[in-house]
C-alpha cells in the first residue's frame, strides 16, 4: 500500500490486531467491524475472501464459510495513520451474525 510514493504499513496493536471497517461496494453502507492480524490480512488479500481473527474464539474465520453470507473483497484501504483498515466488499446475504444486513443499529435520538 502506498500514498503518493510513500509506503504505508498497517500498525497492529499490542495484541497484533488492527480494526477493520467493512463497507458495501457501490452503496457505501457500513456493514460491520472486525479484527485482523497480519496473517488474516495476508489470507484476505490472497484469496479475495474476507478472513478475520476471532478474539473470542482465538481462531481465524472466513466470512460466510458456514453461513454462505460471503464477503468478496473488492479493495483494501489503510487509513492515514495506518491503524485501521477499510474493506470494500460485495456482501452476499447478511453481514451480521444476527441475520441482519448490517451489524449497526440506529440509536434513539438523545
Domain spans of the chain, in order of start: 16-91
User: Per-residue pLDDT tens for 1-49?
Assistant: 555 555 589 999 999 999 999 999 999 999 999 999 999 999 999 999 9
Angle at 7 between CA 3 and CA 11, to 5 degrees: 100
DSSP label of 31: E
Class of CATH domain 16-91: alpha beta
Mean pLDDT of 77-98: 96
Alpha-carbon distance of 39 to 97, in angstroms, equals: 23
- 38-44 CB contacts, 8 Å cutoff, 24+ apart: 38/10, 38/12, 41/10, 41/76, 41/85, 44/73, 44/76, 44/87
Whole-prediction pTM value? 0.88
Alpha-carbon distance of 103 to 19, in angstroms, equals: 15
Reply yes or no on whether the pLDDT at 105 is more than 60.
yes
Amino acid at each position: 500500500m502506498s500514498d503518493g510514493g510513500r509506503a504505508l504499513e498497517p500498525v497492529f496493536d499490542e495484541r497484533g490486531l488492527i480494526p477493520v471497517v467493512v463497507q458495501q461496494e457501490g452503496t457505501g453502507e457500513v456493514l460491520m467491524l472486525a479484527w485482523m492480524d497480519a496473517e488474516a490480512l495476508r489470507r484476505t488479500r490472497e484469496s479475495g475472501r474476507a478472513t478475520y481473527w476471532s478474539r473470542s474464539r482465538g481462531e481465524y474465520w472466513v466470512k460466510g464459510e458456514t453461513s454462505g453470507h460471503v464477503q468478496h473483497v473488492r479493495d483494501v484501504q489503510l487509513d492515514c495513520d495506518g491503524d485501521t483498515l477499510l474493506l470494500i466488499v460485495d456482501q452476499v446475504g447478511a453481514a451480521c451474525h444476527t441475520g441482519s444486513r448490517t451489524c449497526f443499529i440506529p440509536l434513539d435520538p438523545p
